[in-house]
Amino acid sequence: MNRHMPTAISLILGMALVFIASCSTTSPYLDVSDQEKRIEILSKWLESERIKSHIAGMSIVIVQNNRVLLKQGFGWSNVEEKIPVTPKTLFPMGCLTKTFTATLIAKLVDEGKLDWDDPVAKYIPGFNLTIKSDHENDTVTIRDLLTHRVGIGLTSNKGWNNMTSLEEVLTALSEEKPAARFRTSYLDNIALDMAAGVSAGKASNLSWADSLKTFLLGPLEMRNSQDLVLLKKKKLRQFTSYDWIEKEEKFKSIPWKNAFVDNNPAAGLVSNAEDMGKWLKFLLNQGKFNRQQVVSAEQLQETWTPQIDLPWQWAVDLKFSKGILGGDAAEYYGMGWVIGEKKGQKVIATRGRYSKFRSRMVLLPDTNVGFVVMGNSPGHNSDLYSKLIDNIFEAVLGSRSHDPNATHDPQPHIPLHQTR
């Protein structure tokens, strides 16, 4: 049994790109010049480590230069019925959904239907959030919601997990008292992303889910991606998450939990490796898909522009040993994305979780590489997901991922977006 490393939550994107800071010269990839052979090594390693880590099933897609390098399923989507994971197996994306909502809004900005700095009340009449500000004319904007800099964290005891409608969430959010001054701190609160998604729906005269399908999922041919509530109603047998029971040495299926709310712009998307490969191509191609400019590069870049510092405490609260990108590098939050830089390479990343499902997405736009990993188990006493990131980028980039002459990480020079 593999008994090293901490809890399952360390499968986060959080260790994304620790490879640049600490790659070992004994890596099995660095002396292999052929990328295809390195990817074969990676595939075998993934299956071996999945078994050691007690992850029931996982799926991965890796893209570089508009080409899929690996798209593969491992293990079981349903352990009891021996239904295998394939690239078509669906997984809840959790908070990866936030990146879709932010990109949807980028598209609506292109269409002239709203603006990043529009007041939220323009689209949700009567919706007002209490803020701490010295400027009496300050008002919460779409940008403020997506960057989590309103000053309101998800800390209340109002029974968030029992709410079943967006209306309930927005009412509870409007009753919250701020814990920090306006536009000074990042406070994680998925209810803010929900409000942003509702605003997007109002601006397009559609629901969030229908707007997402019309403006993004349709043009990107992501035919398998849909709202989580639809799959819950279908009760798919393959759609099961698992925990490893050490004493019994077996997997235990986990019952469905409330998705927070239905039609959820913060965590309600379901997708698979087939569709997420298209999503990665679209992002790495600066908003283009099949030669069509679906979202302008300018507005897509706006979602990747640092808006607020990510505090160390955020990492501590989520049980990361260090910052979300690893090491001592500064980190920022854009709109749905964590942004950083190490040894001159920009990193754009995010993570998601739903019940025992886990998902991670990481982009290296400078080398045009991206990957998405999805699993139906958190892993037992394993650091697989952090090691996974090291291995993926070494397998894709080979010796370019390792700089033996580097002795330290320079602080990134990424300007923060300024409002006011």
3-state SS of 66-118 is CEEEEEEEEEEEECCCCEECCCCCCEECHHHHHHHHHHHHHHHHHCCCCCCCC
Q: What is the pLDDT along the chain (420 residues), one digit of tens a residue?
A: 443 433 333 333 333 333 333 333 457 887 888 999 999 999 999 999 999 999 999 999 999 999 999 999 999 999 999 999 999 999 999 999 999 999 999 999 999 999 999 999 999 999 999 999 999 999 999 999 999 999 998 765 466 667 778 898 999 899 999 999 999 999 989 999 999 999 999 999 999 999 999 999 999 999 999 887 666 666 566 678 999 999 999 999 987 665 567 789 999 999 999 999 999 999 999 999 999 999 999 999 999 999 999 875 554 444 343 444 555 556 899 999 999 876 567 889 898 888 899 999 999 999 999 999 999 999 876 667 667 777 888 899 887 665 534 333 333 444 556 555
> Is residue 203 in some structural domain?
no
Q: Are 70 and 43 in contact (CB under 8 A)?
A: yes
In degrees and rounded to multiples of 5, residue 214 shows phi and psi of: -70, -45
> Is residue 416 in some structural domain?
no
CB neighbour list of residue 191: distance below 8 Å, 6 or more residues apart: 154, 160, 169, 170, 172, 173, 266
> Is residue 231 in some structural domain?
no
Q: Are 348 and 359 in contact (CB under 8 A)?
A: no
**Could you identify the residue written with the tokens 């025992």?**
356
Alpha-carbon torsion, ordered 212, 57, 340, 324, to 10 deg:
120
Count CB atoms within 10 A of the CB of residue 96. 26
Q: Is 2 exposed, middle or buried (0-12, 13-18, 19+ CB in 10 A)?
A: middle
Q: Hey, what amino acid is at 9?
A: I
> Is residue 407 in some structural domain?
no
Q: Are 92 and 276 in contact (CB under 8 A)?
A: no
> Is residue 315 in some structural domain?
yes
Q: Give dist(CA 70, CA 395) in Å, integer.
A: 11
**Could you identify the residue written with the tokens 């997997």?**
251
308 is in which domain, residue-wise? 8-92+271-401
Token pair, residue 166, equals 């967006």
The order of strands in the sheet holding 269-271 is: 91-92, 269-271, 226-227
**Residue 113: what pLDDT?**
98
Dihedral of alpha carbons 42, 89, 55, 227, sign:
positive
**Residue 16: what pLDDT?**
38
**Residue 326: what pLDDT?**
52
Q: Give dist(CA 240, CA 255) in Å, integer.
A: 8
Q: Which residues of 353-375 are buried (b: 16+ CB within 10 A; e: fewer)?
A: bbbbbbbbbbbbbebebbbbbbb
Query: Residue 360's domain is classified under what CATH number?
Result: 3.40.710.10
Number of structural domains found in the chain: 1
> Is residue 146 in some structural domain?
no
Q: Are 366 and 346 in contact (CB under 8 A)?
A: yes
**Residue 5: what pLDDT?**
34
**Residue 103: what pLDDT?**
98
> Is residue 390 in some structural domain?
yes
Q: Are strands 57-64 and 369-375 parallel, antiparallel or unpaired?
A: antiparallel
> Is residue 230 in some structural domain?
no
Q: Give dist(CA 404, CA 216) in Å, integer.
A: 42
Token pair, residue 125, equals 């009449």
Q: What is the largest CA-CA distance in the chain?
A: 62
